[in-house]
Amino acid sequence: MDIIKTMAISDLALKPKKNAAGTLGLFFFAAHVSPSLASPQFILSKKCPATGVYQDHEGYCRPIQPYQKGNSRYHGLWKLDEKNLALRPEEIDLGRLLFFDPILSNDQKMSCSTCHDPSKAFSGNRPGLRNSPGLINLAYNPKFFWDGRASSAAEQISAPLTSSIEMANPSVEAVLKRLNAAPSYRQLFASIRPVALKNSEITWSELVGALDSFQKSLVTFTAPYDRYILGDVTALDAAQIRGLTLFRSFATRCAECHTPPLFTNHEILTVGAPGESGAFKVPTLRQIAKTAPYMHRGAFHSLADVVKFYNDGGGRSDQGISGTSTHWHVRPIGLSKGEEADLVAFLHTLTDDSWRPEIPAHVPSGLAPGPSN
C-alpha cells in the first residue's frame, strides 16, 4: 500500500515544472513526507550540471571543449576526436544520486563518493591500497583502473560493487535486488524509460548507464591553461608560462606522456614510483592540484615532491606487470630549483575553479549521502 502511494505521489512530482528556476543541478525536496515513506521525492534535473558540459538546443549535455579534430585554429598538442557525446541530463542526475548513495554497498555505509571525493576531483587516498583515480574526462578514456584492465565503464563499475574490501556485494544481482526493492529508485528509473516500459525492473545496463552518464559528465577543458591556449595571454603569469614551456620541452618530456589537452596519452607505463613496482596508467593532470597525495599509492604529498622525483630521474623498476621497465623518457632532467617551482606553478593552471559538482543533501534511499567523513 505504501508503495502504491509513493508511486502516485512520485508520478505527480515527476510532471515537469515550468518555473523550475534555482541553482543548477539541485533536486527538489518534498516537504510533506510521511516518516513511514522514508524517502523524500526527487525530480531529476533537466539541466546540465556545472561540470564542464553545456546544454545543446535539443537538451542534451555536451562537453565544453575547444579541441575538435582538425581545428587548426586552436593549439592543443593533441586534437580530440569529436565524440558523439550527448548525455541526457536526467540520466546524469540519476547517476549522481546513485553515486552518492550508500545503497550500492552491502553494508549500506559506503557510496562511490566514499573513495571518489568530489572535493578532490573525485580521487581519494586509501592508505595501504592504490589510490582511487580521479574521475576527470572519463568520456575520453579508453582504459579504466590503474593497470588499465577494464576497457569500459560497465566492466569497471562491477568491480568496486563486488570487491570484498570495497562495497562487498555478493554479486551485481544483489545490488539490483536492493535497488528494485526501493520504490524511490523504481520510480526514478521508470521516469527516464519509454512509457511502455514504466513497470520494468531496474536492469544492470540501466544502472551502469546512469552511473556512466554521471561520470562522463565530469568534463573539464576550461582551466586557465585552456584560456591561455585559446589566446588570452593574461590567463597565466610569467612563472606559469615558464612552467608550460618547460612542460612541453624535450628537456623534461612531461608532455610526451601527459599530452595536452587531456594531459594523458592513455598508456600503461612504469615510472618507478615508491610503493609498488609495475606499470600504471598515465593519469590526467587536470585538477591535479586537488588530488594529493600523488602517484598510484600516494607516495608524494605535494606536487613539488612529484616534480623533484622526476627531476632526479624517477625510480627504477624492472618487474612491471606488463613486463616493462622504467619508461625510456624517464631519466634525470637537471632542472634548477626555480625551474621545478615554475613547473609546479604551471600544474596549478590545470585547475578549473568553475567546476562545481553538486553534492546531494539527500539521496533516494534515505541513507546519509557520502562522503561520510
Residue 150 DSSP class: B
Q: How far is the CB of 61 from other proteins (least distance, A)?
A: 10
Tell how far CA 208 is from the center of its chain.
Answer: 14
Q: In the complex, what is the shortest distance from the CB of residue 352 to other proteins, in angstroms, rounded to a whole number?
A: 9
Least distance CB 159 / other proteins (angstroms): 21
Cβ atoms of 188 and 182 within 8 Å: the answer is no
Residue 143 within binding range of other proteins, rule CB under 8 A: no
The correct pick among 229, 307, 345, 363 for binding other proteins (CB under 8 A) is 229
The residue behind cell 618547460 is 246
Which region, judged by CB under 8 A, interacts with other proteins, from 111-119, 128-136, 167-175, 246-254? 246-254
Interface residue with other proteins, options 5, 69, 301, 337 (CB under 8 A): 69
Residue type at 6 in one-letter notation: T
Cβ pair 192, 91 in contact under 8 A = yes
Q: Does 48 bind other proteins (CB under 8 A)?
A: yes
Stretch that binds other proteins, among 51-59, 121-129, 209-217, 287-295 (CB under 8 A): 51-59
The tally of CA atoms less than 13 A away on the side-chain side of residue 348 is: 15
Which 3 state secondary structure label does DSSP give 363?
Answer: coil
Q: Across the strands, what pairs with 132? A: 124
Beta carbons of 213 and 95 less than 8 angstroms apart: yes
Cell of 161: 560493487
Q: Quick check: 354 binds other proteins (CB under 8 A)?
A: yes
* Nearest approach, Cβ of residue 257 and other proteins (Å): 9
What angle is formed at CA 287 by the lines to CA 255 and CA 253, rounded to 5 degrees? 10
Per CB under 8 A, the list member of 47, 96, 216, 297 interacting with other proteins is 47
Q: How far is the CB of 87 from other proteins (least distance, A)?
A: 14
d(CA 134, CA 316): 25
Q: Under a CB-based contact definition with an 8 Å cutoff, are residues 22 and 30 in contact?
A: no
Cβ nearer to other proteins, comparing 37 with 230: 230
Query: Does 348 engage in binding with other proteins (CB under 8 A)?
Result: no
Which residues face 53 on adjacent strands?
63
When asked if residue 151 is in the footprint of other proteins (CB under 8 A), the reply is no
Binding site for other proteins (CB under 8 A): 21, 24, 47-48, 50, 52, 54-55, 57, 62, 64-66, 68-79, 221-222, 229-234, 245-246, 248-251, 255, 259, 265-267, 269, 322-325, 327-328, 331, 354
